[in-house]
Structure 1
Amino acid sequence: MSVLSLRLAGPLQSWGATARFTRRTTESAPTKSAVIGLLAAAAGIERGDDASLQPLAALRFGVRIDQPGSRVRDFQTAHHSASGKSMPLSERFYLADAVFVAAVEGDTALLSRLHAALRNPVYPPFLGRRSCPPAQPVDLCLHEGAASLMDVLGEVPWQASAWYRRQHPDGTDVELTVLREACDDEGELADTLRDQPVSYAAAHRRHALRTVVGDIVRVGRPSGGSLPRHEPFDALQEGDV
């Protein structure tokens, strides 16, 4: 078994689990459905290809909150493409300036393919919604032969922004919240969230309930250095536009 770790950081993120109609909310951390969807998109799995989705959905999932960010609200309007009729005003919520470390645990061969796909994605990754691109490369590391998902989430260096890290003294550990899938004997301690992907088909999207447990890990604060710079438009050459 191995673990694939991801960095989810961007100006805006939105991780809906119960959004309906004109009110689109966000959870305080990435949902399994959204992260598996990101991996499926990178691998080129089409919506409605439930057979190819199943191995990804079976991966064990956890997420660490490195920088919780703040919740912001936006109002959006739209017009019908054919009639031009004004559609109802929608209320949408986002997380601003948040950073997470997500991890999936499973078969090494599958995670190796997903790791390669993140570096050369068929469809670009986004943080919950297409309007929320990542600010940094999503892939962190493939931890082959890792002891467990929790071990990796406790070992990956703190990914918070430099301005946020400066709020904590150098050399001291920080306590970070981890939300992970519950083990079989943790049912009484777990919460439930309807974000276990079953199908992404546009005509019948389906999600099952998933049990989630909260933990705390202590991670050392980096004493120096900086996070890698990522500018997606560097890939464009003059004359490409």
Structure 2
Amino acid sequence: MTVLLLRLDGPLQAWGDASRFVKRHTRTEPTKSGVIGLLAAAQGRRRTDPIEDLAALRFGVRVDQRGRLVRDFQTAIRRGPGKPESMPLSYRYYLADAAFVAGVEGDRSLLEGLAAAIESPVFPLYLGRRACPPSEHGVSLGLHEADLEEALRTADWLARPWYRRQQGRTVHLELVLDAAPGEQDTETVRDVPISFSPVRREYGWRDVRRAQPVEMDNPQGRSDLDFFAALGGV
């Protein structure tokens, strides 16, 4: 199988799958719908264009640098005939200083086209919301001949030096994958894009599993954290 790996790294990210009304939440890791939206934007697909081929790709993500949850709020005024009307406050949640390796697995010819599009995108790329551009390092981590889990397990660790110094000498990176049919201990999320049409966005359900974390050596880490971990502490 062929896998396209992606670097999802930036000052702010937002990966909502259940936002309603004035509260816009984010999950703690990238969503499949958000990443499919990024790939569609790179290819220049309009919101009303078909996306079935992208939605069928198998998806997974590794949490390389867990971000901090931050909240912002926005105000708005509706102008029209008569006195301007103040709109309700809108709260938006983001992940700050997070880094992830995401991967999509599927047909090589489709992934080759996506890899080329990411290098020269038609529309700007963003990490979940338009206010969240990727870092200067770029998004594509290239094509890999491996299955999705193997590719995510063997990819280089993307955490920044300051983050590595705060961790122990051994770190365990969370790994979340599309579940295969019949797998046990899965979580069902409404995160498969059916349509991005602004008139009626539609999402389907998918099963995900949290695999055995990826163990990474961290020579820059703190030895005292490993000592307490060995005792069962924090």
TM-score tier after normalising by the smaller chain length: 0.7 to 0.9
For 2:100 and 2:170, locate their aligned partners in 1 and report how far apart those are by CA, in whole Å. Answer: 17
For 1:168 and 1:92, locate their aligned partners in 2 and report how far apart those are by CA, in whole Å. Answer: 29
Aligned to 1:179: 176
Deviations 1:166-217 (A, max 9, x none): 2346xx553110111001121x310011110100011110000110100112
Deviations 1:98-140 (A, max 9, x none): 0010000000000000000000000011011000111130111
1:204 to 200, 209, 215: 200
Aligned to 2:225: none
Deviation at 1:75, TM superposition (A): 1.3
TM-score with structure 2 setting the length: 0.88
For 1:139 and 1:126, locate their aligned partners in 2 and report how far apart those are by CA, in whole Å. Answer: 13
Aligned to 2:96: 96
Identical residues among aligned pairs (%): 51
For 1:78 and 1:201, locate their aligned partners in 2 and report how far apart those are by CA, in whole Å. Answer: 24
Deviation at 1:80, TM superposition (A): 2.5
Letter in 1 for 2:187: D
Cα 1:81–1:139 shift into 2, 3 Å: farther
Aligned to 2:60: 62
SS in structure 1 opposite 2:151? Answer: helix
For 1:105 and 1:217, locate their aligned partners in 2 and report how far apart those are by CA, in whole Å. Answer: 19
Cα 1:81–1:9 shift into 2, 3 Å: farther
Structure 2 regions of 5+ residues with no counterpart? 221-234
Structure 1 regions of 5+ residues with no counterpart? 224-241
TM-score with structure 1 setting the length: 0.85
Aligned to 1:6: 6
Task: Work out the number of aligned pairs and report it.
Answer: 216
* RMSD over equivalenced CA pairs, Å: 1.5
Letter in 1 for 2:138: P
